[in-house]
């Protein structure tokens, strides 16, 4: 299925709230991703996403709809050569290769747009689908930190996957 990465727009608000307000999406994300996902949360997110220069947070457009999001979050201080990758996709579009292709696109963009040499992601240990897409996109498992995350009354492992810029 065709998709594209593009800047978020205020007109995406209905799609954002519709697709993000899904417990099957929220359970794999940090608590900064609210559930239930409200119009107010969506407005704040779009305002933040569109304020970044250069752009670093994009909508994943599928079939003309904002069906997910992907972003790079450049780090600071002694981590300044790194950016953290975050992403989510609406459940109707899972298992179609969209997120793997989106990750490859944003990695290429990130290494050109930012002065970084490493992009990393931190999926939950039980998120097998996220692990697979990261590996398909060229990420390597660097670390497993056992039972350090706490969400919905449960301790979970944190994995650290990364890809490095090839000079």
Q: Which residue has the tokens 């179609």?
A: 96
Q: Rounded to whole angstroms, how far apart are CA atoms 156 and 77?
A: 28
Q: Tens of pLDDT along the chain (167 residues)? A: 799 999 999 999 999 999 999 999 999 999 999 999 999 999 999 999 999 899 999 999 999 999 999 999 999 999 999 999 999 999 999 999 999 999 999 999 999 999 999 999 999 999 999 999 999 999 999 999 999 999 999 999 999 999 999 87
Global pTM value: 0.95
Residue 159 token pair: 């994995």
Domain-by-domain residue ranges, the chain? 3-119
Determine how β-strand 118-121 pairs with β-strand 140-151: unpaired
Q: Report domain 3-119's class.
A: alpha beta
| Dihedral over alpha carbons 132, 134, 136, 142 (to 10 degrees) | -100
Closest to 161 measured CA to CA, from 116, 111, 127: 127
The per-residue pLDDT for 166 is: 85
């Amino acid at each position: 299925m065709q998709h594209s990465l593009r800047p978020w727009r205020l007109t995406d608000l209905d799609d954002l709230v519709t697709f993000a307000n899904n417990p099957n999406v929220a359970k794999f994300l940090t608590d900064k991703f609210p559930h239930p996902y409200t119009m107010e949360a969506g407005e704040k997110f779009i305002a933040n996403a569109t304020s970044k220069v250069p752009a670093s947070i994009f909508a994943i457009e599928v079939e003309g709809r904002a069906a997910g999001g992907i972003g790079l979050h450049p780090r600071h201080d002694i981590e300044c050569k790194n950016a953290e990758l975050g992403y989510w996709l609406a459940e109707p579009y899972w298992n179609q290769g969209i997120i793997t292709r989106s990750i490859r696109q944003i990695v290429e963009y990130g290494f050109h747009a930012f002065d970084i040499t490493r992009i990393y992601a931190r999926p939950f240990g039980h998120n097998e689908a996220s692990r697979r897409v990261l590996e398909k996109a060229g990420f390597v498992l660097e670390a497993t930190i056992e039972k350090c995350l706490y969400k919905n009354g449960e301790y979970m492992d944190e994995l650290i996957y990364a890809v490095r810029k090839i000079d």
